[in-house]
Amino acid sequence: MVQENTVNQTPWHSLSIDDVLARLKTDGERGLSSIEAGKRLERYGPNILQPIPRPSAFKIFVKQFANIMVGLLIAALVISGLLGELIDAIVIGVIVFFVAVIGFVQEYRAEKTLETLKKMLSPTTVVVRDGVEKEIAVKDLVPGDIVILYTGSKIPADLRLIETVNLQVNEATLTGESTPVSKIVEPLPERTPIHDRFNMAYAGTVVTYGRGKGVVVATGSRTEFGKIAGEASAVSEERTPLEVRMDEVGKRFALIAGVVIAVIFLVELTTELWSGVLSLSFLVEVLLFAVALAVAVVPEALPGIVTATLAIGMGIMARRNALVRRMPAVETLGSTQVICFDKTGTLTLNQMAVREVCLYGRHYKVSELKSSNDAGLQTLLNAVTLCNDASISRESGGPIVRGDPTEGALLLLAEELGVDVENVKRIFRRVYEIPFTSERKLMSTVHQGPQGTLTVYSKGAVEKVLAICSAIFESGQIRPINDEDSRNIMREAEVMAGKALRVLAVAYKEVDEVKPEMVEKELIFLGLVGMMDPPRPEALNAVKTAREAGMKPVMVTGDHKLTAIAVAREVGIYREGDLILTGEELDRMSDEELDRVVEDVTVYARISPMHKLRIVEAWQRSGYVVAMTGDGVNDAPALKRADIGIATGITGTDVSKEASDMILADDNFATIVKAVELGRWIYENVRKYLAYLLEANLVEIAVISSVALVIARVLGLQGEEALPLLPVHILYINLATDGLPAIALGFSPPDPDIMKRKPIPRHEPIFSREVRNFLYTVLLVATPIYLLGYITALEHGVEDARSRLFFMFIANELLLAINCRSLTHTIFKAKPHKWLVLAIVWEIALISTIMALPGGAETLRLQPPNTEDLAWILGGGITLSTSIELMKAIAHGRGLKSKDKYVVSEALTV
């Protein structure tokens, strides 16, 4: 076993590769065995930094008391106790405790959901274990593991490099220097400072170019990065705009309470001074009113619900392959107006297969190649096998491509035509390479054969390969290439692209020595390879749904223009009259010119990552909310700039994932559309929840204020008699009655037309027109009904009037919960779901049980309802509920023509 102090203190950069492997007791080719890796994981622990301490359950509970709404309740509790209202004080105390419990449960669930999401977002890396390349979680890395590095890889631990091919690493996260550093494998002097250790790759840095291998020498907090930095959360826990707006709601309600109390105080003070006597009863009356109003103004179930709803929504999305990394993205998703996405893998299956090969004018289907005796075929097969970073493994009997799907298709072609891929790669050793990048659209490798011969193989975009060729292989002969040859080749490529094939050109040459500046010059053109990645079966419906939801799908791809159009037309993205732009055309356009046409372009072809950034910015300048997908290192700027940056989880690099707001676990366009639907659904349910809770508070304030300011004075009611509802009644209505139905509304199914509406405007307040006019309607219809019911019962005594008003509130709240199932559709179209029905049944059973228990009615200071009370209770509830349903029906009918629902005048008309 490797000694831990040896791993921590050894100057790895000063040792030779053999010494490093020997000290770590590992094999540079086969890596560790799985058994040994397991033992080392137990010894060294997981490859993670020390986590940021999470708040304890006790701290989360105490935190619930530190907000303005609960503060008002505590003030009410203290005042009630000082005035001798012990029952009210005890009930308020119990309610405050349960408010804290509800907030605690919601926030604790949110914490657990976020922790689960972090586990789902756990990054992976490719290692060699038991002689086989395999993908494992970064946290499972141990000293001695052999890690494979590619362009775009994020270094998962501190590595001593043992193989490099043009490897460059950006070490800005460690050294602050943004210029990529070229890496080597030779040992360096022991005193070499960290930023000059060119044979090391440190955790947290990023491969920007080339490829390589490294052996893990330090993990977790023992890495250089771990010594100087805390853990960067995979899921951002920033306060969401919705949370900020909820704080504003609390402050506004507190302000309303303060203003009304001040008015009552001034009225009472004026009355007392007019009478010439300033009595203690004046102060008591004002304090009693302050307690009632403070209780009425607080939507007790609200604290913590917003964060919890969004966090739980993130969990639901994760189960459906959309991993949301930043909570505000859930809100932004509902506002998405433009979705810019790549074709390959997102819209298609990402299962490339070669369909056609063109060898100087002759087109072959794959089945025909098996009997072909074309002299250039074997050279072409060698080229696509060797100029290739993919590999094929066989699991459960079938071939599994590891690496780029396009390169995988080329290997599968070679295998199908009889090439022993592994043997060819072993015999012809790669000695130099120039990797493929999105900007170059070209890859070249140099291989040394058994006799020491050196051969260059290149593959890439047709125009790029043609540009580096000076000869052509035709009928077994090599001759100079001319302009007519180039035109013919481009024409053949267009014919193949017109069949929706992705076309690559292949070339080669033999050389005497490796001269980097000459590798991609004077090559011999071999032929064209056409492959297809068919659209996903669900893509057509997903595009249709996106359009119906008011979103514009835009294809942004590096593929040939004709290939892009063929696929875009098949799935319904491209329509006659739409514009198509290529990368070259985009380069010739100014930002102003792009702004003029951006809304008409549905397909961008031959696009580089920096073009993506221009496209995002053009849409944003036009005022649109844009989502953009990406998978490469250079896609990061576009992903960060987009309102919703979406990284592909399968093909995406670590850099693109960290720059994103959301990761597609299945790289599927349909998942993006589904995520938008979920974002709208979650946001709409929060609105329903708020509308339902706040209407009760507003009506309570209106009724209490009306009685205290007007009715009590007219009828000569004083002190506690001037309160239509006691604090204990208001608390029961707000928490016991509203609590469960409100939570059930948070889990309501989406409205039937949620994906047929336009996106939610970016800056639309949480109190949208629908919410505001729902609140106006309830306030205008319910307040007179409550006051009339209360006044007509006063002849039987204040306690009878309070009881009637209390039961009217309960009945109305339960019926309003059904109305809130949808703020736009009637209950006939958006029927109550089972959880809402169960919540309502529970509330009815609860109040019935309390009233039936000995001492229950006395504790709440209530009288059982009589026949007249029942008529008011049922009649008032049915009148209010019917008014809201009529308003929804009228507004929806007019909205179909005017596209403007829930107009205030319509609410007033009803």
Pick from 358, 401, 361, 353: which is nearest to 380 by CA?
A: 358
Banded pLDDT at 99 (limits 50, 70, 90): low
Instruction: Please give the Cα distance from 795 to 791 (Å, whole number).
Output: 8
Q: What is the mean pLDDT of the chain?
A: 82
* pLDDT higher than threshold 70 for residue 187: yes
Cα-based torsion angle of the residue sequence 901, 906, 908, 909 in order, rounded to the nearest 10 degrees: -160
Banded pLDDT at 308 (limits 50, 70, 90): low
Banded pLDDT at 631 (limits 50, 70, 90): confident
Cβ partners under 8 Å of residue 553, min gap 6: 339, 341, 543, 546, 547, 573, 602, 669
Choice among 342, 533, 635, 661 that is catalytic: 342
Planar angle of CA 403, 406, 412, nearest 5 degrees:
85
Quick one: 741 exposed, middle or buried, by C-beta within 10 A (0-12, 13-18, 19+)? buried
Planar angle of CA 332, 338, 339, nearest 5 degrees:
90
Banded pLDDT at 904 (limits 50, 70, 90): very low
Cα-based torsion angle of the residue sequence 871, 876, 878, 882 in order, rounded to the nearest 10 degrees: 150
Pick from 695, 837, 692, 677: which is nearest to 751 by CA?
A: 677
* pLDDT higher than threshold 60 for residue 910: no
Percent of the chain with pLDDT over 70: 82
The predicted model scores a pTM of 0.66
pLDDT of residue 111: 64
Q: Name the range with the highest mean pLDDT among 147-156, 323-332, 512-521.
A: 512-521
Least confidently predicted of 164-168, 283-287, 545-549, 793-797: 283-287
Question: 190 — phi, psi (to 5°)?
Answer: -60, -35
Banded pLDDT at 653 (limits 50, 70, 90): low
- Residue by residue, DSSP assigns 620-645 as HHTT--EEEEE-SGGGHHHHHHSSEE
* pLDDT higher than threshold 60 for residue 416: yes
pLDDT of residue 231: 36
Least confidently predicted of 25-29, 353-357, 406-410, 684-688: 684-688
DSSP annotation of 480: E
200 or 751: which carries more pLDDT confidence?
200
pLDDT tens column, 767-785: 777 888 888 889 999 999 9
| 216 touches 200 (CB < 8 A) | no
- The CA radius of gyration of the chain, in Å to the nearest whole number, is 35
Over range 587-601, report the average pLDDT.
Answer: 94
Tokens 């693109």 -> residue: 656
Banded pLDDT at 470 (limits 50, 70, 90): very high
The tokens for 910 are 């009803």
Query: Could you write out the three-class secondary structure of 809-856?
Result: HHHHHHHHHHHCCCCCCCCCCCCCCHHHHHHHHHHHHHHHHHHHCCCH
* pLDDT higher than threshold 60 for residue 899: no
Pick from 595, 538, 594: which is nearest to 571 by CA?
A: 538
* pLDDT higher than threshold 90 for residue 459: yes
* pLDDT higher than threshold 90 for residue 31: yes
- Between the alpha carbon of residue 849 and those of residues 27, 241, 694, 813, 872, the distances in Å are 74, 41, 27, 18, 21
The tokens for 32 are 């560790």
Over range 43-67, report the average pLDDT.
Answer: 76
Q: Name the range with the highest mean pLDDT among 242-246, 287-291, 508-512, 742-746.
A: 508-512
Over range 187-208, report the average pLDDT.
Answer: 88
* pLDDT higher than threshold 80 for residue 500: no
Question: 572 — phi, psi (to 5°)?
Answer: 90, 10
Q: Which helix (H) or strand (E) holds 532?
A: strand 523-532
pLDDT of residue 896: 45
* pLDDT higher than threshold 90 for residue 841: yes
Least confidently predicted of 49-58, 204-213, 821-830: 49-58
pLDDT of residue 48: 83
pLDDT of residue 908: 29
Over range 390-402, report the average pLDDT.
Answer: 73
Over range 511-532, report the average pLDDT.
Answer: 93
CA 77 and chain centroid, separation = 42
| 447 touches 429 (CB < 8 A) | yes
Q: Which helix (H) or strand (E) holds 226?
A: helix 224-228
Q: Does residue 631 have an active-site annotation?
A: no
* pLDDT higher than threshold 50 for residue 901: no
* pLDDT higher than threshold 90 for residue 573: yes
How many residues are there in the chain? 910
Banded pLDDT at 712 (limits 50, 70, 90): confident
Pick from 381, 373, 247, 218: which is nearest to 307 by CA?
A: 247
pLDDT of residue 229: 47
